[in-house]
Structure 1
Amino acid sequence: MSFITTDYSNLESKGYEALPTGEYEIVIAKAMETATPSGAESLQLDLIVRNDLINVPALATTNGKFSNRHVFMDNWKRKNTGQYDTASFMYILQAVGVPEGTPVNSVDDFIRLITGRPARVYIKKEVDSYNTTDQNNPEYRNAVAPWNFSTTKFMEVNHTGKQPNQPQQQQTQQQAPPQQPQQQDGNWPF
């Protein structure tokens, strides 16, 4: 008996072209500060289309077809101030359920509050004028504006990462943020 018999009839091409315009249920996989070679700084969010909603009929053309795809969103520091437009961050914080009046003391605090959290985002497919060299054959990219974040319609998150049995980190409104480690015996390893 053979280990496997080849059958290519059900294979689908899964390219990396830009996602079609639409609303997607996502998880904010990570956020980090980056910089271009010329020094322009941004806070980049890695949004992953949730794979736990592929069988939801209302999401058949979005999450159902494009689960596990990454969309990157850059929040650039303003050239004239050298600061982020923190008003834009309010849309994201509200969408992931951070309570009104929560102090966010640093970019690191912001990253901790949003990482692993679900949201619903409107992703737009648009011509990438920076990378398009032939106007008759344009390159496309995805864009997500901060005001296009909204609260997920599916609060229970069972999205799993690429490695089996490792669910995507998540926090819901009901969960408290992680606590600092407690010193138990006075013997720290440093």
Structure 2
Amino acid sequence: MSFITTNYKENKHNNFEPLPTGTYELLINKVQEHATPSGAESMQIDFIVRNDLDNVPELSETNAKYHNRHVFMENWKRHATNQYDTKGFQYLLEAAQVPEGTSIDSIDDFMKVLTGKPMRVYVKKDVDDYQTERQNKKVYRNDIAPYSVEKSKFPQVNHQQKNNAVADATVEDPFADKSNSNKVNISNDDLPF
């Protein structure tokens, strides 16, 4: 008996070209900070094309053809202030339907409040000037402007899609006391290491 017999009928080959320009229903898969080797920092929003809307006629040329594909939005810290442009973040929070006046105390809280949220996003396919100059040929990328993000027309998300999208972001503490009735305080002096 052999270990494996080749059968390529089920293989699906991915297309890594940028998405065509259009309006997509997306989920925020992950929000994380990045830094370049030179020290420039950015907040990267990883969107994923929803796969639970393939049968919606108005999305036949977008979601139905490109579901599960990723597209990214970057917000760079300003050199002068070493802070993010939070005005751009306001569009994301509004699209995620975070109530007006909500205080978000940290970058981690910001990331958590957005992860897994559905949004309607205009994605533009554009020439990547930086890559084009380096490679002497046209290279394309996707751009998402903060003001091109709005509330989803389909706020109910298939739980399987949502669970896959947020699996990396929601790791539950297996030692957490969920009842909050038996809190144990341990100081560093009590630890053997």
Global fold match (TM > 0.5): yes
> C-alpha separation between the residues in 2 aligned to 1:32 and 1:12?
29
Give the total of aligned pairs: 174
> C-alpha separation between the residues in 2 aligned to 1:166 and 1:120?
19
- Measured after TM superposition, the shift of residue 131 of structure 1 is 1.3
- Measured after TM superposition, the shift of residue 15 of structure 1 is 1.1
Query: Structure 1: which 5+ runs fail to align?
Result: 171-179
- Contact 1:51 1:160 (8 Å CA) reproduced: no
Query: Structure 2: which 5+ runs fail to align?
Result: 168-176
Residue type matched to 2:62 in 1? T
**Per-residue CA shift, 1:84-103, capped at 9, x if unaligned?**
11111110000010011111
> C-alpha separation between the residues in 2 aligned to 1:18 and 1:125?
7
- Measured after TM superposition, the shift of residue 105 of structure 1 is 1.5
- Measured after TM superposition, the shift of residue 104 of structure 1 is 1.3
- Measured after TM superposition, the shift of residue 188 of structure 1 is 7.6
Q: 1:6 to 1:186 in 2, by over 3 A?
A: closer
Task: Find out whether 1:185 has 2:174 as its counterpart.
Answer: no
Matches within 5 A, 1:1-190: 8=9, 14-132=14-132, 133-135=134-136, 137-158=137-158, 160-161=160-161, 166-169=163-166, 181-186=178-183
- Contact 2:121 2:149 (8 Å CA) reproduced: yes
RMSD of Structure 2 on Structure 1 (CA) = 2.8
Residue type matched to 2:182 in 1? D
> C-alpha separation between the residues in 1 aligned to 2:144 and 2:178?
36
> C-alpha separation between the residues in 1 aligned to 2:24 and 2:185?
45
Aligned partner of residue 130 in structure 1, secondary structure? helix
Task: Determine the structure 1 residue equivalent to 2:173.
Answer: none
Aligned partner of residue 42 in structure 1, secondary structure? strand
- Contact 1:125 1:142 (8 Å CA) reproduced: yes
- Measured after TM superposition, the shift of residue 184 of structure 1 is 3.8
